[in-house]
């Protein structure tokens, strides 16, 4: 009989592999080598990451095309006239108003800063146990422009509203985690992997509950904290590497979850 830790390690190793990239929206930032291009497209792809993965990937490619294949250069130098090409861009509830505000924030931010990392890291320090304050601070910064539309706030979540912040946590995993597997980028140095929080979606939620890792009924920020703390007790330095295991078992593994559980003797 395998222990729960053994099972999590098994599936984390299985799905934290370069073969994962070509099936996942993370392939979009992986198509770039420049830090700022990776940041811009990584963030935007993460914010669009709901629905079918094929659709998310195609919409992200559309964005790259609209930016002439060079996101950072476009962000820095585009004019108001250039934004008209984005008026027809939409993905589910992400509409033109949201697109135009993302362009506005990025242009103002990158004309003053070299990396998006500081937009998060300025709100926490090495002594911070988690990135919670970084997410809250970033949300306030992102919507600090005078013309920030209220409707766009639903696309960039915050723990202050009890949101699980799945997409932001996923983006930070991409940018902060680094290992020899090559899926996550590990380009940011001011946030430590031990501070990261698990990206909690319906698939991770379902698997975590079935494995006894999550008891809270609501899928909210307190559930993220509960699950992250459980995973941190297994790997204090890199708890969110188990995102690969929970997500993989929930949506990528060919066997049904119950079959996996029984085969490992976890019942």
Q: Is the pLDDT of residue 49 over 90?
A: yes
Give residue-wise pLDDT tens across range 102-113: 999 999 999 999
Q: Is the distance from CB of 215 to CB of 186 less than 8 angstroms?
A: no
Nearby residues of 220 by Cβ (< 8 Å), 6 or more positions away: 162, 163, 164
Q: Write out the H or E segment, with its range, that includes residue 42.
A: helix 35-47
Confidence of residue 262 (pLDDT cuts 50, 70, 90): confident
- What would you measure as the largest C-alpha separation in the chain, in angstroms? 63
Confidence of residue 1 (pLDDT cuts 50, 70, 90): low
Q: Distance between terminal CA atoms of the chain?
A: 10
List the structure tokens of 255: 């066997």
Question: Residues 231-248: what's their mean pLDDT?
Answer: 97
37 C-beta neighbours (distance < 10 Å), count: 21
Give residue-wise pLDDT tens across range 175-225: 999 999 999 999 999 999 999 999 999 999 999 999 999 999 999 999 999
pLDDT score at 267: 66
* Cα–Cα distance for residue pair 55/187, rounded to 1 Å: 27
In the chain, where the domains are located: 4-263
Which residues does residue 105 pair with via DSSP β-bridges, in sequence order?
none
């Amino acid at each position: 009989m395998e222990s729960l830790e053994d099972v999590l390690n098994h599936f984390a190793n299985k799905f934290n592999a370069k073969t994962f990239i070509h099936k996942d929206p993370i392939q979009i930032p992986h198509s770039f080598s420049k830090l700022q291009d990776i940041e811009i497209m990584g963030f935007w792809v993460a914010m669009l990451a709901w629905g079918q993965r094929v659709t998310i990937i195609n919409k992200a490619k559309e964005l790259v095309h609209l930016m002439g294949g060079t996101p950072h250069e476009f962000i820095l130098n585009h004019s108001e006239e250039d934004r008209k090409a984005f008026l027809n861009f939409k993905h589910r509830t992400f509409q033109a108003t949201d697109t135009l505000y993302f362009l506005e924030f990025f242009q103002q931010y990158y004309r003053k800063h070299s990396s998006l990392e500081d937009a998060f890291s300025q709100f926490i320090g090495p002594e911070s146990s988690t990135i919670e304050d970084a997410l809250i601070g970033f949300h306030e910064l992102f919507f600090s422009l005078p013309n920030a539309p209220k409707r766009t706030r639903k696309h960039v979540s915050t723990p202050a509203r009890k949101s699980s912040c799945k997409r932001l946590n996923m983006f930070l995993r991409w940018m902060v985690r680094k290992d020899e597997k090559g899926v996550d980028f590990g380009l940011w140095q001011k946030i430590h992997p031990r501070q990261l929080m698990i990206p909690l979606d319906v698939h991770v939620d379902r698997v975590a509950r079935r494995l006894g890792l999550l008891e809270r009924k609501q899928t909210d920020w307190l559930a993220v904290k509960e699950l992250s703390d459980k995973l941190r007790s297994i790997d204090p330095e890199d708890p969110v590497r188990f995102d690969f295991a929970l997500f993989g078992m929930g949506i990528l593994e060919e066997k049904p979850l119950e079959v996996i559980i029984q085969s490992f003797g976890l019942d």
